[in-house]
Amino acid sequence: MSPSANGYQVRVAQAYDAVYQRALRRGAEGLGANLDMSGDRYIFLSDLHRGARNGADDFRRAERALNAALAYYNRLGYTLVLIGDVEELWEERPAAVLKAYPRSYALEVQFHRAGRYIRIWGNHDDEWQYSARVHTFLDPVYGRPALRVHESLLIDVVDGDTSLGSLFVVHGHQPTRRPRAGI
C-alpha cells in the first residue's frame, strides 16, 4: 500500500470517527431514533439527485416510480429516511429543484407531518447543513413542524425490550468534501 493511500485511509477513518462522535452526542441529547423490529417499518433511500427537469436531470425518469413507492410506503406507515443527495445542488439552485417536483415533495410532506420523516444531507445537497438554508427553502415546502436535516443518524435497534445494537446512518461523503460553490 502506498503512503498516500494509507494517508487517505487515515483521513477517512478520522472523518467517520468525528461524525460518529457527533451522532453519539446527539443521541445522548435525545436526537437519535429508535427502530423496534417488532413493529416499526423504515424505508431508506439515497442519491435521488433531483434536478430542475432539464437535460441534465437524471431523476426525471425515476419520478413516477419514486412517487408510487412513497405513496405505498406511507399508506403502510413506514418511516422515510432520505440519506443525502436528495437534490442535485451542485448543478442547480434549490428553488429550481423544489419547483420542478411538487408531487414528490407533497408525498414526502405526508411522512413529515405524520412524524415519520428523517433527512440526512449529502455532498450534493450540503446546503441543508445550514439551518438558515433549510428555513429559507425547505420550511415553506414541508411546513410545521420545522424540518431538521441531520449530518448523520444513530438508530437504536430493539426487539421489544431487547436491545439489538444500533445503526449508524451517514451519506458517506465526509472525507471527500468539495469546496463551497457559493450558491
Q: What's at 97, amino acid-wise?
A: V
Separation between Cα atoms, residue 86 and residue 63, nearest integer Å: 12
User: How many CB atoms are closer than 10 A to CB 28?
Assistant: 10
**Which residues, other chains included, contact 74 with Cβ-Cβ below 8 Å and sequence gap of 6+?**
80, 107, 110, 111, 114, 116
How would you write the pLDDT of the chain (183 residues) with one tens digit per residue?
565 667 888 888 888 888 888 888 877 766 678 899 999 999 999 999 999 999 889 899 999 999 999 999 999 999 999 999 999 999 999 999 999 999 999 999 999 999 999 999 999 999 999 999 999 999 999 999 999 999 998 999 999 999 999 999 999 876 665 544 444
Q: pTM of whole model > 0.85?
A: yes
Cα 64 to Cα 18: distance, rounded to the nearest angstrom: 38
Any idea which residue has 471527500 for its cell?
Answer: 176
The one-letter code for the residue type at 22 is R
Q: What is the DSSP string of 134-148?
A: IIIIIHHHH-SSPP-
CA distance linking residue 126 with residue 120, whole number of Å: 9
Burial class (CB in 10 A: 0-12, 13-18, 19+), 110: middle
For the chain, the domains span 3-176
